[in-house]
Structure formats: C-alpha cells, structure tokens
Amino acid sequence: MVERIAVFTDVHADAPALHSILNAIEEAGISKIWCLGDFCSGGPDPRQCFDWTTANCEIVLAGNHELFVTHKVFMQYQGGWADAAYYAYQELGSKRLQELEKLSSYVRLPYAELIHGAMTDPASDYIRTDADAFMNLNMIRGNLLLFGHTHQAALYISQVKGLPKKPEIVIGQEYELPNNFRCALNPGAGCDNKGARWMELILDDDERNVMRRVIWHQTDVPGHGGMNSIF
C-alpha cells in the first residue's frame, strides 16, 4: 500500500503562499496533509491561514509564533514578531484562539515524529547544523523525524559512525530514505521568497517493511516576490 503525505511549514499567515501550496497539493492528488507550525502569525492573513490550515490538514502543530500569540508575549515585548503576534491575536478571535491553545508542538506517530523546532525544545530550538541533527536523531524513538522552524529545506541521514550525511536538496528530485538509518527532514518555508516550499513523503508498505521516499516541491506565488508581511 502506497501512502502519499504532503508536509509544509512556516507559512507565517501568508495567504497567497498557502493557497499556492494547497492548490499544488490538490493538483498532485494528495489528500493527507500535515503542517509543522508557524502558520497563522507573522503576516497579514492570520484568519485565512488558520481556517485553511485547520480545514485541510490532518495534523497541525503549534510553532513558536503560535505560542507568541497564545502566551501573549506582546504584553512584554514590542516590535517585529511581537507586533505580528498581537495582530494575529486580534484577528483570530476567541473561538480560533481556543483551538490554537489546544495544539501541540510535537506529535509522535507509529512511523514518524513531527516537531516544529527540535526534540530539545519542540517549539523554539533549531536543527541547523550537523551536530544539531546528530543530537536530535539520537533522541527520537523511531527512525523518521519531520521538523520546521529554520525555513531551510534539509535532509539528514544518520551514519554508522560520525555526523549525519546531508545531501543537497534538489527540487523535484526523489530521495530514498534508508530504513536502517534515522532520517530528519525539513520541507523548507512556505513563505520562501524563491517560491512556496513543501514536501511529499511517500510510504510504500509491502507488509514486510516500509520503503520511504521524499520529494521537495516549490510552487510559484503569482504577483508575490517573497513573504507577504506587513511587519
């Protein structure tokens, strides 16, 4: 049985970028969608991005920017991300905020662990270096970790000795994920200024084992030259 899963992250309340991703996923015929967080704060469209994401995604994680909203960090800080969180807080309204508070930054599935940041801190820590990846891959229970937060598409494959291997990501190229090694994958940012990024995870279960493959995608956002931020 072959299962295809679309994964995106870090749209940051950018409705045109999210719309382009969801359209591309629909055109690809993929029905299962996961969001790894930072989807409804940081840009001008908190309500649209909240509604579209929660309506279309089977799993939605809370990123650090969602926690900025629910924890009301704008009461202590000003400028940049704090102003964006305040704007999102005002726009989302009480019902959406109640739903937002229920979201976790980490979800463990039978065949994958999903996290916004890193195992050391699910919402806020980063996996940015080979050493970060090595530490986090050694913290998961299974052998597949999906993460966001850095805005950079990435694939780390553990090795018998030493730091993980990190192949270069080529859009549209299919990568096979070896079953006997742990792997960490980042879709890249939905608000990337080169085009909205997302990832297609393919699980092929032949009752003996699960063959895992992944393809990174990039979609054009018409009339959009980068993150559509008002901050």
Quick one: pLDDT at residue 211?
80
**pTM for the model:** 0.94
Q: 55 Cβ partners below 8 Å, 6+ apart?
A: none
Split at pLDDT 50, 70, 90, the class of 227 is: low
Quick one: pLDDT at residue 37?
98
Read off φ and ψ for residue 134, nearest 5 degrees.
-55, -50
Split at pLDDT 50, 70, 90, the class of 225 is: low
Report percent pLDDT > 70 for the chain: 94
Please choose, from the candidates 153, 146, 144, the residue with its C-alpha nearest in 3D space to the C-alpha of residue 198.
153
Q: Does domain 12-219 have CATH number 3.10.20.30?
A: no
Rounded mean pLDDT, 113-120: 97
pLDDT tens-digit map of 163-188 = 999 999 999 999 999 989 999 999 99
Whether 10 contacts 190, CB under 8 Å? yes
Split at pLDDT 50, 70, 90, the class of 23 is: very high
Split at pLDDT 50, 70, 90, the class of 230 is: very low
Quick one: pLDDT at residue 205?
78
Can you tell me which residue has the tokens 């999102």?
88
Quick one: pLDDT at residue 231?
44
pLDDT tens-digit map of 188-214 = 999 998 999 999 999 987 656 678 999
Read off φ and ψ for residue 108, nearest 5 degrees.
-110, 125
Map out the domains of the chain as residue ranges: 12-219
Which of helix, strand or coil describes residue 64?
helix
Burial class of residue 85 in the structure, from the number of CB atoms within 10 Å of its CB (0-12 exposed, 13-18 middle, 19+ buried): buried
Quote the CA–CA distance of 203 and 182 in Å, as a whole number: 15
Whether 115 contacts 147, CB under 8 Å? yes
pLDDT tens-digit map of 35-86 = 999 999 999 999 999 999 999 999 999 999 999 999 999 999 999 999 999 9
CB 103: neighbour CB atoms within 10 A? Answer: 20
